[in-house]
Amino acid sequence: MSYLQPKINKSEEIIKEALERFPNIAVGFSGGTDSLVVLNMILPYKWDIPVLFVDTGYQFPETYKYVKKIEKEWNLNMLTVKASNQLYDQIKEEYGDSSDFFFNCCMQHKIGPMMEGIHDLNLDAFIVGIRGVEHPTRAEEPYFSHKPDFDFPHWRVHPILDWQFQDVIDYSLLFNLPLNPMYAKGYTSLGCTHCTKPNKTPGAHERAGRERKRELIKAKMKEEGYN
């Protein structure tokens, strides 16, 4: 897989630059393969970097078990953040299956706690494993993205922004990374149980299993802090 080495080199250069530029920095880990790849690249350079996991309260049981396994086996300096109130039922009752339901549910259970975690850690920068091919809102991001308009301004760092889905798979195989077992059940993108389904169509986009109404409002969620 020598074709992958230039991308690995570029990603590691971005990581090293971020670690040099920003004294208070953390990395996000969702239990997905993208964030695992980024985490695997970072740890040799900063083994004790804070790792932020957002517990929405609604991820798959397998994801929670997997995150705990990685935390223990990789000896991670992990901080788990979670909304103080689980309001899925109330939000569902008010908004039904509309896009407003997905926006408000994500704000309450994912975006809000993540932003609070960034604030509590007093971060200058937050490293995440987004890739441009996943969604147009991600394709427009640079490697280093300043977020001055948030309540807590900081930088987002995207080391694998130009990676393809197959690159992530090949890297995982190359380094024998332990993957979330949900991928073996047909999922190609992971989120909460109520907005994620297996990807049953061969050749479909990797996020084809994500709730369509939620995907259509990612630009709106991005303005609030979503990656």
pLDDT of 69 above 90: yes
Q: Which domains does the chain have, with CATH numbers?
A: 2-224 (3.40.50.620)
Convert the pLDDT of each residue in 26-40 to its tens digit.
Answer: 999 999 999 999 999
Q: What is the mean pLDDT of the chain?
A: 92
pTM for the predicted model, two decimal places: 0.93
pLDDT of 78 above 80: yes
Residue type, 91: I
In angstroms, the CA 206 to CA 152 distance is 32
The pLDDT of residue 2 is: 77
The pLDDT of residue 139 is: 85
Listing DSSP states for the chain in one string gives: -GGGHHHHHHHHHHHHHHHHH-SSEEEE--SSHHHHHHHHHHTTT-TT-EEEEE--S-B-HHHHHHHHHHHHHTT-EEEEE--SS--HHHHHHHHTTSHHHHHHHHIIIIIHHHHHHHHHTT-SEEE----GGG-HHHHT--SEEEETTSSS-EEEE-TTTT--HHHHHHHHHHTTPPPPGGGGGT-SS--BGGGB----STT--TTTTB-HHHHTTHHHHHHHT--
The pLDDT of residue 56 is: 96
Convert the pLDDT of each residue in 118-144 to its tens digit.
Answer: 999 999 999 999 998 888 888 889 999
Convert the pLDDT of each residue in 197-211 to its tens digit.
Answer: 888 886 788 887 776
Q: How confident is the model at residue 15 (pLDDT cuts 50, 70, 90)?
A: very high
The pLDDT of residue 151 is: 84
